[in-house]
Amino acid sequence: MTVPFRSYLKLGNNHYREHFGLDFEQFEVGQHFHHRPGVTVSQEDNAQEALDTINNAQLHYDEHYASKTEWKQCLGVSTMTLQKVIGMASKTFGRKLRILEMIDIAMTHPVFGGDTLYAESEIKGKEDYSDNPDVGLLTVTTKGVNQKGDVVAKVDYKMLVYKSEKHPIEVAAKLHRGGVEDQKFASHRLLDDGSFMEQVGIYYEDLQPGELYEHRPGKTFSEEENRLHALRSIELCPQYSDGNYIKKHSKHGMQIAEPFLIGVMTALTTRTFDRVVANLGWNNIKLLEPVYAGDTIYASSEILDKRESKSRPTQGIMHVRSDAHDQDGKLVCTYERYFLIYKKGMGPYKDAGY
């Protein structure tokens, strides 16, 4: 059965833009969604969540104390689990305006560092929203499930979701959802039990030379993350981390470290190229304009060429050019890249629950 849910908009001939989430009209009561990917949480994630939020419950970050409790180890912060569970559902609910109400939050099983969390959601209710005709009201139950299949959290909530062609991005750019009927653009696949599994990434066979993909969302850089990436890379040049130097010598603020920029730019392509196995290399890398904290970049990629892998029959090799533009449309970086990508029916997806 063909699934009518798509994660792309067609902008022109062989020109597509990523755009996630279902329209309000596409939801039906009783639908069940499996959200992917999952996320493995570490004790470091747990401790940082507790300390960053000024959580004084030492159970989350004092391992000696925790070893004397019934848990025998540090317990995951419940609200960290809540954030992960709701966040993991964002591809299906990517057209959410906001959560209007959280009816009930239940933590049903402990979470520890090393656990992998997945989310799944069921549509419990659907109704019009009189205060704003551009959106509708959904009642949803989202569950967090660990790698063993234990339900660790259950959240009942209500949220507002944009109707077809009413999202601000579509309205501003006069974008329409037609022209992407090909199954390779599907955002979900139908499982035997009638539920839907999220999927991202296009297989080797379906990526064609000449196709252009605009990747969304973009990424806004902050001073703090740039400083941390520079310092953790032992980068000593002051324009990336020294606030006093930057104040005295830079008209535009903190400059984003070039390797970090290339890392973010590459990461932005991973929705379309999620079937990637490994990067083989970059070349013709041109850093055309400096990028500063507060800037936002958007990436796009053109398929230049593709070929079979001689040593890996389950994979192919893609040759892609990617560009990054800032919020003003200025081209700031461009490069070519080679990477391995899975062919249809190949890869670890079934075994991994994807």
Give the CATH number for residue 222. Answer: 3.10.129.10
For the chain, what is the total number of helices (H) and then of strands (E)?
7, 14
- How high is the pLDDT of residue 143? 98
Indicate whether 179 pLDDT > 80: no
Within this chain, do residues 163 and 215 fall inside the same structural domain, yes or no?
A: no
- How high is the pLDDT of residue 1? 56
Question: Is residue 183 a part of any domain in this protein?
Answer: no
Q: How many domains does the chain have?
A: 2
Mean pLDDT of 347-354: 94
Within this chain, do residues 212 and 338 fall inside the same structural domain, yes or no?
A: yes
Which of 114, 141, 167 marks a domain boundary? 167
Question: Is residue 12 a part of any domain in this protein?
Answer: no
Indicate whether 197 pLDDT > 90: yes
Which of 167, 196, 224 marks a domain boundary? 167
Indicate whether 152 pLDDT > 90: yes
- How high is the pLDDT of residue 2? 67
- How high is the pLDDT of residue 314? 97
Mean pLDDT of all residues in the chain?
95
44-48, 129-133, 179-183: segment of lowest average pLDDT:
179-183
Within this chain, do residues 234 and 334 fall inside the same structural domain, yes or no?
A: yes
- How high is the pLDDT of residue 4? 82
pLDDT in tens, 289-323: 999 999 999 999 999 999 999 999 999 999 999 99
Mean pLDDT of 30-57: 96
Which of 147, 167, 187 marks a domain boundary? 167
Strands (E), the chain: 8-12, 15-18, 32-40, 96-107, 116-128, 135-146, 151-162, 188-190, 196-198, 212-220, 276-287, 296-308, 315-326, 331-342
Domain limits for position 158: 21-41+76-167
Give dist(CA 166, CA 128) in Å, integer.
14
Mean pLDDT of 247-258: 97
pLDDT in tens, 12-40: 999 999 989 999 999 999 999 999 999 99
Question: Is residue 274 a part of any domain in this protein?
Answer: yes
Cα dihedral sign, 83-89-91-92: negative
